[in-house]
């Protein structure tokens, strides 16, 4: 099934759960990875495996139990949405601000990741467009939004109805934007400081650590792809991944109607060196606010 070429991640074709090999191959190709069969898994112990189980594709980081998925109904995340504390979430406070609006705010989440912040914003009433540059993550987000839309749980369903996922590089997308401008652009580029944060004693949950480890693994792999491509070794590299938010804040400031909100680690430098008008600082995160009107 795999053509022998090395891939960072493999979709696992398992006849019990997947009936259509062609569909799995198409999906794998769309995400830039290869396909292996279930009985080949043991030969790929160091690779990331993407396995379908219990109605969704999940990412197995290695042969341990470290599994990453996008699932808004996961109780560890859902309690944040379901609680009265939603309005107290820093991301909600930073994006909504104090001004009352009659129309729901339109938000472009230009670094969607696992969609958690976007989902909190949608649950708080915003119309959110999620843009994610990693095709695999964008696909898992689309699937998670679709599952939530089919849910019998009204809270999940109504939030998901306010979410649209796009698989793209958001800097390019913002620079070429031709639709209605969003009220708010929200940015949470992957900070290079994740390890330093842990060293500085900033606590992250096990799930957040796993998600970050997965993102860092994919990003560093793609950075290697890119440097090889630049040296002329790999013509089939993926689109450039921009993990440091280069050019992002400028594009966001040019596009947003009301404000740009940037999530950073407390103590991290301002994105693009641009000083915000104000910041909301919590234990593990800081939200820098750039008002435009
Ligand atoms: C720290 S994560 C975001 C986590 C997200 N706020 C959440 O709540 O799950 C950063 C994400 O931004 C994505 N990203 C970084 N630069 C991007 C770009 N230029 N366009 C689209 N996505 C980008 C990365 O691939 C990564 O998935």
Dist. CA 189 → ligand 1 center (Å): 5
Atom of ligand 1 nearest to the CA of 172: 19
% of the chain surpassing 70 pLDDT: 83
Higher model confidence: residue 293 or residue 258? 258
**Closest C-alpha residue for ligand 1 atom 14:** 111
% of the chain surpassing 90 pLDDT: 63
With the most atoms of ligand 1 within 8 angstroms of its CB, the residue from 167, 173, 190, 207 to mutate is 190
Question: Most confidently modeled of 17-31, 46-60, 107-121?
Answer: 107-121
Structure tokens that stand for 280 in this block: 């909301």
Average pLDDT over residues 86-105: 90
Which stretch of 17-31, 58-72, 158-172, 266-280 has the lowest confidence by average pLDDT? 58-72
Domain with CATH 3.40.50.150 in the chain: 75-193+242-291
> What is the predicted pLDDT for the residue at 237?
30
Average pLDDT over residues 95-100: 86
pTM: 0.87
- The reply to whether ligand 1 has any atom less than 6 angstroms from the CB of 133 is yes
Dist. CA 20 → ligand 1 center (Å): 31
Return the CATH architecture of domain 75-193+242-291: 3-Layer(aba) Sandwich (3.40)
* pLDDT above 70: residue 84: yes
> What is the predicted pLDDT for the residue at 229?
40
> What is the predicted pLDDT for the residue at 49?
93
Task: Tell me the pLDDT tens digit for each residue of 230-287.
Answer: 343 333 333 344 455 679 999 999 999 999 999 999 999 999 999 999 999 998 899 9
Task: Tell me the pLDDT tens digit for each residue of 167-210.
Answer: 999 999 999 999 999 999 999 997 655 545 554 555 566 777 77
Dist. CA 146 → ligand 1 center (Å): 20
The DSSP result for the chain, as a single string, is ---S---SEEEEE-TTT---HHHHHHHHHHHT-EEEEGGGGGGGTTSEEEEEETTEEEEE-SSSS-EE---TT-HHHHHHHHSGGGGGSHHHHHHH-S---SSPPEEEESS-TTSHHHHHHHHTT-EEEEEESSHHHHHHHHHHHHHHHT-S-HHHHHHHHTEEEEES-HHHHHHT--SPPPSEEEE-PPPTTHHHHHHTT----HHHHHHHHHHHHHHHHHHHHHHHHHTTS-TTPPPPP-TT-TTHHHHHHHH-SSEEEEEE-TTPPPGGGPPPSEEEE-SS-EEEEEE--
> What is the predicted pLDDT for the residue at 4?
57
Task: Tell me the pLDDT tens digit for each residue of 111-170.
Answer: 999 999 999 999 999 999 999 999 999 999 999 999 999 999 999 999 999 999 999 999
Dist. CA 4 → ligand 1 center (Å): 30
**Closest C-alpha residue for ligand 1 atom 12:** 111
- The reply to whether ligand 1 has any atom less than 6 angstroms from the CB of 189 is yes
- The reply to whether ligand 1 has any atom less than 6 angstroms from the CB of 119 is no
Question: Mean pLDDT across the chain, nearest whole number?
Answer: 85
Q: Are 286 and 263 in contact (CB under 8 A)?
A: yes
């Amino acid at each position: 099934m795999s053509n022998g070429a090395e891939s960072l991640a493999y979709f696992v074709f398992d006849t019990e759960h997947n009936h259509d090999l062609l569909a799995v191959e198409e999906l794998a190709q769309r995400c830039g990875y290869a396909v292996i069969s279930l009985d080949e898994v043991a030969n790929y112990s160091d690779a990331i495996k993407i396995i379908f189980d219990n109605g969704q594709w999940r990412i197995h980081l290695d042969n341990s139990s470290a599994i990453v998925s996008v699932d808004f109904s996961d109780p560890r995340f859902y309690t944040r949405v379901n609680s009265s504390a939603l309005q107290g979430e820093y991301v909600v406070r930073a994006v909504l601000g104090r001004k009352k609006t009659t129309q729901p705010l339109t938000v472009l989440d230009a670094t969607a990741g696992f969609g958690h912040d976007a989902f909190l914003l949608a649950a708080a009433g915003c119309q959110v467009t999620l843009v994610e540059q990693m095709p695999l993550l964008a696909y898992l987000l689309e699937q998670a939004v679709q599952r939530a839309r089919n849910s019998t749980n009204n809270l999940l369903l109504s939030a998901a109805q306010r979410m649209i996922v796009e698989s793209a590089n958001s800097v390019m997308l913002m620079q070429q934007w031709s639709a209605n401008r969003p009220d708010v652009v929200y940015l949470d580029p992957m900070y290079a400081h994740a390890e330093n944060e842990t060293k500085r004693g900033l606590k992250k949950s096990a799930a957040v650590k796993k998600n970050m480890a997965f993102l860092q693994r994919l990003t560093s792999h793609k950075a290697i792809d890119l440097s090889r491509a630049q040296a002329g070794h790999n013509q089939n590299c993926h689109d450039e991944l921009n993990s440091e938010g280069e050019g992002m804040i400028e594009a966001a400031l040019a596009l947003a109607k009301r404000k740009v909100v940037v999530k950073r680690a407390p103590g991290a430098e301002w994105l693009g060196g641009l000083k915000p008008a104000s910041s909301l600082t919590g234990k593990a995160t800081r939200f820098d606010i750039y008002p435009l009107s």
